[in-house]
Structure 1
C-alpha cells in the first residue's frame, strides 16, 4: 500500500482510507439494521487486519454511531501506527439553526473531547467539520475555534467535509482548512474542476463516495424504475473493464486515485472480502492519461439528479 502526502500537513497516509461509517451504524444499499452489520468483535478484527495490510488512514465521526468507540478499542495499543480522522457533531439543530456565536467554541470543545475519549487518544490527526455548508464555512467563530484546537495540539490538522463544488471553492479560499473531504466518482465528476486549485494551495484532498454508496458495484443493478437512466449509464462502464480493472469498484477506485491531486480515497469496508478487494485495487497502477481522458467523458449527464438522500426519501433505495 503506497502512501501520499496529505497536502502541507506533514502527514502521510495510505492511498486507501478505511471508511468507518459502516462499522458504526447501518449504512449503504441493503444495510437496514444492526443485524446486517458486523458485530463489535468482528469489526475490531477487520480494523486490525486493515492496519496490518498497510492501510494507515481511518475515517470516522461523532455521528457514526459506535464507530469511534470501536476504533478506539482496535487501536489503543497501536496509536502511533494510525492516522485518525474524525468529525465534529453537526452544528445545526432540528430547526436548522446554528449555535449562538458565543456558544460555538464550547460546542466544538465538547464534541472533540467526546471523540478523544471514544478513540482513547490524546490527540486527533485530522479533525473535520461535518457537512460544512456555505454559512458554516463563513462563520468566523467556527474557524477560530478549529484553529485554536490546532494551536493547542489537540488536533494536527483542520478539515472540512463538503458536498457541493461551491462549498469546496469557499473552503479553498479560506485560510483555515488543511484538508477537504469531498464526493467524487465516475458518475459525478463536478468537484474535479477544483482539484488543481486545492493542490496548488497545499490542501489535502480526500475522496469519498467513490462507489456512490454502492451503486458503482454489483449493488447498482435492479434499481427502482425512477433510476433506470442511472442504471443504464452504470452498465455502460462495463466497456472500460479490463484485466487491470476487472470490476466496476476497481475501475471507480483507480479512477479517483489516477488524479495526482488526490491524497486518499475513502472506501467503505465492512467485510474482509471488501478489504482484500481494496488492497488489490490500490496497487500503484492507475489509468493512463489517455484512459483517464476517456473515462472523464463518461460522467452522468445530469449530476444534479444524483441526490441519494432525496432518493432515499422517495423510497427508491429500498
Structure 2
C-alpha cells in the first residue's frame, strides 16, 4: 500500500489509517478481530484517545504483541502539567507499550484552554518532558477551531495537527493545509466520512485523498469497514465531474450543522443517548422513514422529551450544536 510522510515525524503511514473512537463500542473480543484485521490489511497508523473509554485498553490487549508493525497515536484532554504527565503514564500502561509515537492535545477549542496549555506549568511542559524521557516521540494537537489550530501550527511546537475535513467541512484546506505543509507539520484528517453520515464512502474518501499531504483516519468498528475504507487506495483516481457533483449534492443535503456521532456530548445526566437521537431524527427526515423510525423511538428507555436542559452536553460539543433545541425538535417529531 502507498505510504505518506506524516510531516516532520518522518513516519511513512498508510493514507487511510485507523480511527479507534468506535472501538469503544466493541466487546473486547470484537475489538481484537477488528484491530488485527486492520494490521493484517497493512494499516500502520492507529489513533485513539484517553477519552475513548476502554479503547486504549483494547489496543494494549490485542496489539501490544505486534508493536513493531504500527505507529501509535493517542491524546488527552488534560490542560495542566500534572494531569498530562499522569495521562501519559496511564496511556503507556493501558496500551502496554514503552513509548507512544504521537501524543496529542485533544480537542483544544477555547482561548482559555490554549493559554493554560502553553503557560508555565501547562500541559505542554509535561509532553516535552515525556518526549525527553523517551515516553513519547512527537507532540500533536487536535481540534475543530481552525483559527486556533493555525496559531498552534505557527508556534513550531507541534509535529502534527488533526482536524475534521470532508465534503461538508472544507475550511481546513484554505489556510491550515498549506500552512502545515510549508512548516512540515503532518495533517491528520478526522471525520472524513462526517462521523459515518456520508453515504458515498468511496467518493468521500477519494475527495480527502486528493489532498496528497494528508492522512485520513475514518472510524472503524467492524471488519468489513476495513476493506471498504481501503478500497479507494487501490488504483486511486481523483473524482471526475460527475462524481464531484454527486458528492456535492450529498453535502448540500446534509448541511454543515449535523451531529458527527463523536460522543463528546455524553454521558447525559438523565441518560439520553444524544447521538442516537440525532441519527434517528436524520433518518426520519432525510430518508422519509416516517413509520419505522417513530416505532424504533417508542422502544427507547429514555426519550428526547426527558431532557432537563442542563446544557452540559452543549458545553462539551466540539461543533457547538444547539443540542437542547434539537432535543425539543426530536421529541416533537418522533413522539
- With the length of structure 2 as denominator, give the TM-score of the two structures: 0.72
Query: Could you tell me which residue of structure 2 aligns to residue 235 of structure 1?
Result: none
Query: Could you tell me which residue of structure 2 aligns to residue 125 of structure 1?
Result: 101
Q: 1:213 offset after TM fit, Å?
A: 1.2
Contact 1:2 1:284 in 2 (8 A): no
Name the CA shift for 1:188/1:72 in 2 (closer, same or farther; >3 Å).
Answer: same
Consecutive unaligned residues of structure 1, counting only runs of 5 or more, are 25-36, 92-97, 99-103, 218-247
Consecutive unaligned residues of structure 2, counting only runs of 5 or more, are 261-316
RMSD: 2.6
Counterpart secondary structure, 1:128: strand
Counterpart secondary structure, 1:58: strand
Counterpart secondary structure, 2:211: coil
- Quick check: 1:82 aligned with 2:58? no
Name the CA shift for 1:127/1:289 in 2 (closer, same or farther; >3 Å).
Answer: farther
Count how many residue pairs are aligned between Structure 1 and Structure 2. Answer: 263
- Quick check: 1:184 aligned with 2:165? yes
Q: Compare 124-133 and 294-303 and name the one that shifted more.
A: 294-303
Separation (CA, whole Å) in 2 of partners of 1:305 and 1:38: 28
Q: 1:293 offset after TM fit, Å?
A: 8.3
Q: Which has the higher strand share?
A: 1
- Mapping of residues 43-58 of structure 1, within 5 Å: 43-58=31-46
Query: Could you tell me which residue of structure 1 aligns to residue 208 of structure 2?
Result: 256
- Quick check: 1:171 aligned with 2:171? no
Runs of 4+ in 1 over 4 A off after TM superposition: 288-304, 306-309
Separation (CA, whole Å) in 1 of partners of 2:134 and 2:148: 27
Q: Compare 42-51 and 130-139 and name the one that shifted more.
A: 130-139
Higher RCO (CA 8 Å, separation ≥ 6 residues): 1
Query: Could you tell me which residue of structure 1 aligns to residue 227 of structure 2?
Result: 276
Per-residue displacement from partner, 1:274-297 (whole Å, max 9, x unpaired)? 111012122251316978987897
Query: Could you tell me which residue of structure 2 aligns to residue 199 of structure 1?
Result: 181
Query: Could you tell me which residue of structure 2 aligns to residue 113 of structure 1?
Result: 89
Counterpart secondary structure, 2:56: helix
Separation (CA, whole Å) in 2 of partners of 1:182 and 1:255: 15
Contact 1:59 1:84 in 2 (8 A): yes
Separation (CA, whole Å) in 1 of partners of 2:100 and 2:91: 8
Separation (CA, whole Å) in 1 of partners of 2:58 and 2:152: 30
Q: 1:306 offset after TM fit, Å?
A: 4.3
Separation (CA, whole Å) in 1 of partners of 2:166 and 2:98: 34
Name the CA shift for 1:135/1:175 in 2 (closer, same or farther; >3 Å).
Answer: farther
Separation (CA, whole Å) in 1 of partners of 2:35 and 2:52: 15
Counterpart secondary structure, 2:208: helix
- With the length of structure 1 as denominator, give the TM-score of the two structures: 0.75
- Quick check: 1:18 aligned with 2:6? no
Separation (CA, whole Å) in 1 of partners of 2:211 and 2:240: 10
